[in-house]
């Protein structure tokens, strides 16, 4: 019963991250925040900051949940020194085969990189928020923007991989 509840909560966390990051990315071009959130900030600025802080907390718990009980080995195989399935997937890609989802393969490594990029985006955004009004605020803003752009690139790659996985599933 507890495991079923935790699995459901996990699915909801993934959905919440999907919705929040989509909103934050879509509205990011409308954000006019520099060194600090202005007193008369727009709804876009205010919502970006506070929903971003919620997303930062969720990204942290998401990363932790995916790393506990040894699951980190699936997403961060290079830390465990196990490259066998990743190597197999890369060789398979060279031969036109779609990598296998799950396990310690290429898709899992990409998901691990995505979790780190999301976590780093949230962390640097939080530090930017905390450094408001200081000289360091713009430094943290720069880091935040760079990690956010990396995360957007990951999302594009993640979408392509998901489409390939569904196509492979339908084909078989």
pLDDT, averaged across the chain:
90
For residue 3, the model assigns a pLDDT of 73
Range with lowest mean pLDDT among 13-22, 30-39, 131-140: 30-39
Tokens found for residue 33: 């925040």
Tokens found for residue 153: 């690139």
CA atoms of 58 and 72, how far apart (whole Å):
17
For residue 12, CA distances in Å to 16, 62, 159 come to: 6, 11, 19
Would the pLDDT of 100 be above 90?
no
Q: Are 165 and 149 in contact (CB under 8 A)?
A: no
For residue 147, the model assigns a pLDDT of 98
Would the pLDDT of 6 be above 90?
no
- The angle at the Cα of 91, spanning 89 to 97, to the nearest 5 degrees, equals 65
Task: Give the pLDDT band of residue 122 (cuts 50, 70, 90).
Answer: very high
Of 21, 31, 4, nearest to 58 (Cα)?
Answer: 21
Task: Give the pLDDT band of residue 36 (cuts 50, 70, 90).
Answer: confident
């Amino acid at each position: 019963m507890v495991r079923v509840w935790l699995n459901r909560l996990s699915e909801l966390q993934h959905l919440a991250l999907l919705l929040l990051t989509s909103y934050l990315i879509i509205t990011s071009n409308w954000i006019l925040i520099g060194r600090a959130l202005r007193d008369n900030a727009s709804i876009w600025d205010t919502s970006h900051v506070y929903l971003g802080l919620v997303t930062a907390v969720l990204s942290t718990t998401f990363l932790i949940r995916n790393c506990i009980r040894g699951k980190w080995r699936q997403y961060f195989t290079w830390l465990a020194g196990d490259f066998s399935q990743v190597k197999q997937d890369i060789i398979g890609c060279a031969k036109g085969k779609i990598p296998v989802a799950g396990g310690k393969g290429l898709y899992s490594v990409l998901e691990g990189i995505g979790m780190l990029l999301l976590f780093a985006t949230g962390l640097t955004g939080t530090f930017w928020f905390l450094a408001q009004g200081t000289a360091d605020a713009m430094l943290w803003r720069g880091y935040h923007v760079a990690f956010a752009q990396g995360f957007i690139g990951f999302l594009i790659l993640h979408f392509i991989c998901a489409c390939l996985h569904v196509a492979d599933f339908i084909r078989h």
